[in-house]
Amino acid sequence: MSLIWQISVAVIALAFVALVIFLIKTLKAAENSLNKTSQTLQEVQKTIDELTYEVKQVLRHANGITEDVEHKMRQIDPVIETVKNVGEILNEVTLSAKQVSSALIERFKRPAEDRISTKAAVKAAVQTPHEKTVQSYDATYSDKKSSGSWMKWIDIAANVWHKYRN
C-alpha cells in the first residue's frame, strides 16, 4: 500500500505543479492586461487634460462672443423699438386710409341724386333762415354744373381731413 500512496502523492504533486504552472501563466496574462489597461488609462488621462484645456479655451471664446452679442443687442434695442413704433404708426395710417377709401367708395356707389337729396335734407335741417335764403338764391341764379363739381371735391377733402384727424 505504501507504493500506491507514493504514486498517489506523486500524481497529486504533479497535478499541483501543473496547476501552479497554469496559474502562473494566467497571472502573467492578467498582469500584461493590467499593464496595458494602466497605459491606456494614462493616455486617456493625458488626452482628457489636453481636451480640458481646449474646452476651457472654447468656453472663454464663447463667453466673449456672447458678451459681444449682448452688447450689440443692447445697442440695437432702440432701433428695434423705433421700428416697432413705425410699424404701429403705419398700421394706424393704413387703417385710416382703408376707412377713408371705403367711405369714398360707398359715397361714389350711391347715385348722385341720393347724395344731393341727403345733403339737402341734412342742410335743410340745420340751416338758419339766412342760410336758407342764400341757398335758395344760389340755386336759382348760379350755374349748377360748375359749382357742384368743385363743391363736391371740397366736401370729399373735408371728410378725408375729418377722418384723418379722428
Instruction: Indicate the pLDDT class of residue 149, thresholds 50, 70 and 90.
Output: low
3-class SS letters over 80-96: HHHHHHHHHHHHHHHHH
User: What DSSP string describes 116-153?
Assistant: HHHHHHHHHHH--HHHHHHHHHHHHHS-HHHHHHHHHH
Q: Are 123 and 135 in contact (CB under 8 A)?
A: yes
The confidence score (pLDDT) of residue 141 equals: 54
> Would you say residue 23 has pLDDT above 70?
yes
Higher-pLDDT residue of 108 and 16 is 16
Burial bucket for residue 163 (CB in 10 Å: 0-12, 13-18, 19+):
middle
The confidence score (pLDDT) of residue 151 equals: 61
> Would you say residue 143 has pLDDT above 80?
no
Per the listing, cell 344760389 goes with 138
Whole-angstrom Cα distance, residue 87 to residue 81? 10
38-53 average pLDDT score: 93
Lowest mean pLDDT among 23-27, 86-90, 149-153: 149-153
The confidence score (pLDDT) of residue 164 equals: 73
End-to-end CA distance of the chain: 132
Q: Name the pTM for this structure.
A: 0.36
